Chains A and B, each alone.
Chain A
Amino acid sequence: MLIWQLLSMLFDSSLLFPTPKETIRSILRILETATGWRSIGATVLRILCGYLLGCVCGVLLAVLTAHTKVFAWLLRPLRTVIKTTPITSFALILLITLVSDLVPIAVAAIVVVPMIWRTTEEAILGLDDKLAEMGRVFLSPWKHLRFVSLPQILPQFFATASTALGFAWKAVITAEILALPKRGIGNQMYLDKVYLDTADLFAWTLLVIICSVSIETLLGYLLKKAGERHD
């Protein structure tokens, strides 16, 4: 905060670098309006949808490629392509085919999929063979999954799932700036950039950080609770 204040004093222009006070005033103004809350709500909803979609697809692909050599051979190059293609390329390509409201969701899912896919696949391939054999003798498939496989997979999955959420935030905001859906934080940031409203731009950035940290903390807590159930 002190560095921020010093920098704003150095620039001496709220257009170039607003002071913390101006930024906080902007945050309060945003939070007083329905548009502000709707924008936050729309972005959070897109992140959650994209993130969950990415997690589900990532897990399904991991199960497929971990158990079937043909699928592994066919699909692993796709993972490399997804991982190395810039988010902006995906957003722009998707803009041609999808409505702008859906582009950020799709982009978030695309960012999350390879992370979840790789971690889950590695966890499945790293399952203890001896415990698996024990499970085959004594346990039903459901009990095997619940008591033998999941406790080995979940710690790795949870660690990556938490990181992936942060990436989903970045992806959705970037995609919103490019796709300009009806509502969203990205839209507001784009408009602030156009109208050179730097204080609002800083305010939205700070709001993104606050929302991201809050949701990540909440997810971390939920994942920890879920992990304890398997302990």
Chain B
Amino acid sequence: MIELRNLTVRFGNQTVFEDRSFELPDTGVVLITGESGIGKTTLLRILAGLLKPQKGSVSGLENRKISFVFQEPRLLEHMKTVDNVALVSDREKAETLLKRLNLGEFLEKKAKELSGGQKQRVSLARAFAFSDDVVLLDEPFAGLDEQNKLRAADLIGTARLAVVVTHDAGDAELLHADRKINL
């Protein structure tokens, strides 16, 4: 069990969490929903170790390899699509994942030449190339058409633990979540 205990997070005068606790299972797909600005992304960043809460602790993630799909693709624009993914694993794995996400014909294109939806899929491929142990996903379906959403959902389902933030009820249904947390 992954436990986030007594979290307090403030950004200046704005309090995002005040003494809040959460529990997540070790495996499966966990959906995190809630209004904009309620702290969904903050929760993911705490889980990834990118944000240290002012108070509180996180346990259960020791020795686990954490990957992240950010809200924006955050690719290295000057590099080829395949190299963006191979940078975190190896070329063979990168190609397999990109092809799985219908990006086979864009392997050698530079990231800056891709559309928003294509970049989002590259970002998804990169996350899974790095690790499928714990994958944190922040609005992973943004900019994807229905076919690609299905491909993405299929890939997300292969993670040992996927924690998915989404505000779209339709997208949430695609994931067949094992657990839902409404913030």
- Is A143 a contact of B74 with CB atoms below 8 Å? no
Are the CB atoms of A151 and B76 closer together than 8 Å?
yes
| Residue pair A151, B78 in contact (C-beta under 8 Å) | yes
Interface size class of B (residues with CB under 8 A): 10 to 19
On chain B, the residues within 8 Å of A148 by CB distance are 76
Q: Which residues of A in the span 172-231 have a Cβ within 8 Å of any Cβ on B?
A: 230-231
| Minimum CB–CB distance for A140 against chain B, Å | 10
How many residues of chain A are within 8 Å of chain B by beta carbon?
A: 14
Does B130 interact with chain A (Cβ within 8 Å)? yes
Query: Is A136 an interface residue when CB atoms closer than 8 A count as contact?
Result: yes
Any A CB within 8 A of the CB of B70: yes
Chain B binding surface SS class: loop
A231 partner residues in chain B, CB cutoff 8 A: 78
Q: Say yes or no for B121: interface residue by CB 8 A criterion.
A: no
Q: Do A137 and B78 touch (CB < 8 A)?
A: no
Q: Is the CB of A147 within 8 A of B74?
A: no
* Separation of A139 and B88 alpha carbons in the complex (Å): 7
A130:B126 contact, CB within 8 angstroms: no
Given contacts A133-B50, A139-B87, A143-B87, is CB(A230)–CB(B74) below 8 Å? Answer: no
Q: Once bound together, how far apart are the Cα atoms of A230 and B79, in whole Å?
A: 9
Provide the residues of chain B in CB contact with A31, threshold 8 Å: none
Partner of A138, one of B72, B78, B79, B130: B130
- A positions within 8 Å CB-CB of B: 130-131, 133-134, 136-139, 143, 147-148, 151, 230-231
Q: Could you list some 26 contacts between A and B, CB below 8 A?
A: A130-B70, A130-B72, A131-B76, A133-B50, A133-B70, A133-B74, A134-B68, A136-B50, A137-B50, A137-B66, A137-B68, A137-B130, A138-B67, A138-B68, A138-B87, A138-B88, A138-B126, A138-B130, A139-B87, A139-B88, A147-B76, A147-B87, A148-B76, A151-B76, A230-B78, A231-B78
